[in-house]
Structure 1
């Protein structure tokens, strides 16, 4: 991967937890100083492993499952409880402060990419929170004798990933519709043609989302994500398949062009113009997170229609007849055909 202030490798990041039970890698503002409002985690769980019950202090969580089958349980405010399974191609959403756990109930390794709605996420674990309370306090809480907790090992440190003994307890209600769950793989792509597609987990289709969203973007080798920018919206993406080139323009006028491969992630500040295209392989697959429930988007193609040819001629300092014949564009296409080779 080329060196860039906008990108780094999530796959090669030093794990902040690693054992035979699984591992957790993350990219926050510590690893990528320019981050704002978003960060990423890569969670791997071996069969029978559990991401311990915990809650996030300063950001909601939006997760996409690439492989495996996991059981997710969420306890939120107002005694709202949810429990459901998530398989490859599905997503889940957890509000800040909601207690939740993720448990691999399948026979294969589970891989999830998780975005947190803060560049420096913080959390508490249930294990650590029990360690903060005395035997008497816990006894009073559960209407038990204090001695009931003397044999319960606890301290104020997290466990991260723990091992389940025996078979998982799977509720009979897991197939019911749940506001925290979304079938990204099963949706019809709002944007789709021969050179690419975009599936969109946003509040238009998933009302539970309050301040986050995610796109699953596929671009063929003869396609390109048109140059564009996102007003009031930051973007953080993860490369799942293929190799890509991305260019980002800074307000200073400096241009950052870099290459991405599977396991890499990148960050684009709000309103920074940028562009993505496939440079190796038959297509690229990205999961792209945004800090808005409905990402805002302005594309170069519509921009050339919105401005009159007189304005464009004056802008570029040429006669109007010397301008390219920009196609009239009513709606930005998002993905365009790459008629020309990478230059």
Structure 2
């Protein structure tokens, strides 16, 4: 008697399902434990394990009400712990103690932090470093690849060794620069054929509009500078380079365009140069002052501003000096302030109504709390070489948490450097309204200052 085909298939499937699962690893049972380890097993109870012995000493600020939010200097703590008041708990690891020590407000945030803001911090030290040819220098950048919410501006930190060039190039984005140390010579020509050349020192600023070709060469002491671009997606790797233009244009076309023979281009570089060493610039800048019939770029449209020679405005907690289109007209939408905060002081709580703020920390250390409506707040710790980013109308401060001056530059996309100061707002609003809203006493309100402070001095009274 023949068994129907369907019955045969069902019989085979039942045998397959009943067979124990097998794998290629069965030949080496030592790779996996026994079946008795799966789930609860009353006959084989788990062995008791002792809790880790964690030894630490809390800093005084960790014993306070978390809402006081004192800065915690974990660099001096043997085993920093994520504890503030009754909040948090000890951490036996695994963990990176180096990060914890310099980011105490991430490990043990103030009780006033809440929810999640954007990531407003990027250390340039974590950026990939692009190295120049034969020890000519380096460049590392911050953009939306590493700070996705920093959409309005991107930055580059670049170093050129003595006589090294940042190759002749131009950008689609505008380029604003602050010389951090050393000196350099910059050169450019505009669309009218007017030429420009100048020597800049630490603290000076330059600006090149989109499409303006220019070059930068370090002088005898080398140079390091900060570049800020008005596009968060900007990449320093995507600039228009002179070498690439020549490499990717037919030689016959180049020859016709420049009135030369094709053999004139036999020795052009076979690849981009980007950062490379060249012949030292002559000490006398006039030797390189090439002009056309159009003459020089007018002084009112100069591509450089000797910001290092501008006096700072001194206030109780430090100093501020501003460069914006009012005193540097060519930089039509770039406004910046260099802020110095003495130990214990802080850049007052403020926000910028029309622009995001891109901040670079030049020296010292500090912290800032970014507040985003309706109730998100995150506190970040910053060191020299870090980038901070604060979206428009989001309030923040920057407090000096070290024992030396904190220096940073705030850059805006705005025709004038402006901000709204929390202190001035509260002090210049009728006292009845503030008292009804915040329940502050008249004595407290009478102590508020109606003028912007920019930087306030340290206050240790409770």
TM-score by length of 1: 0.90
- Which position in structure 2 is the counterpart of 1:331? 451
Number of aligned residues: 335
Measured after TM superposition, the shift of residue 321 of structure 1 is 4.3
Contact 1:235/1:269 (<8 A) preserved: yes
| CA displacement 1:74-109 (0-9 Å, x = unmatched) | 122111210111111211111111101110121x23
Measured after TM superposition, the shift of residue 169 of structure 1 is 7.6
Contact 1:43/1:113 (<8 A) preserved: yes
Measured after TM superposition, the shift of residue 125 of structure 1 is 0.8
In structure 2, relative to structure 1, the CA distance for the partners of 1:126 and 1:222 (3 Å cut) is same
Larger fraction in strand: 1
Q: Please say which structure displays the higher CA radius of gyration.
A: 2
Instruction: Give distance in 2, aligned partners of 1:174 and 1:201.
Output: 28
Contact 1:227/1:274 (<8 A) preserved: yes
TM-score by length of 2: 0.68
Instruction: Give distance in 2, aligned partners of 1:34 and 1:323.
Output: 42
1:36 counterpart = 2:151: yes
Alignment of 1:135-154 (within 5 A): 135-154=251-270
219, 223, 227: which one aligns with 1:110: 223
Tell me the secondary structure at the aligned position of residue 146 of structure 2. coil
- Which position in structure 2 is the counterpart of 1:251? 373
RMSD: 2.4
Instruction: Give distance in 1, aligned partners of 2:281 and 2:189.
Output: 22
Tell me the secondary structure at the aligned position of residue 136 of structure 1. helix
186, 190, 203: which one aligns with 2:309: 186
- Which position in structure 2 is the counterpart of 1:69? 183
Which of structure 1's runs of 4+ aligned residues deviate more than 6 A? 173-176
- Which position in structure 2 is the counterpart of 1:213? 335
Tell me the secondary structure at the aligned position of residue 62 of structure 1. strand
- Which position in structure 2 is the counterpart of 1:22? 137
Structure with the bigger RCO (C-alpha within 8 Å, sep 6+) is: 1
- Which position in structure 1 is the counterpart of 2:435? 313
Instruction: Give distance in 2, aligned partners of 1:65 and 1:314.
Output: 49
Contact 2:124/2:387 (<8 A) preserved: yes
- Which position in structure 2 is the counterpart of 1:289? 411
Instruction: Give distance in 2, aligned partners of 1:196 and 1:62.
Output: 25
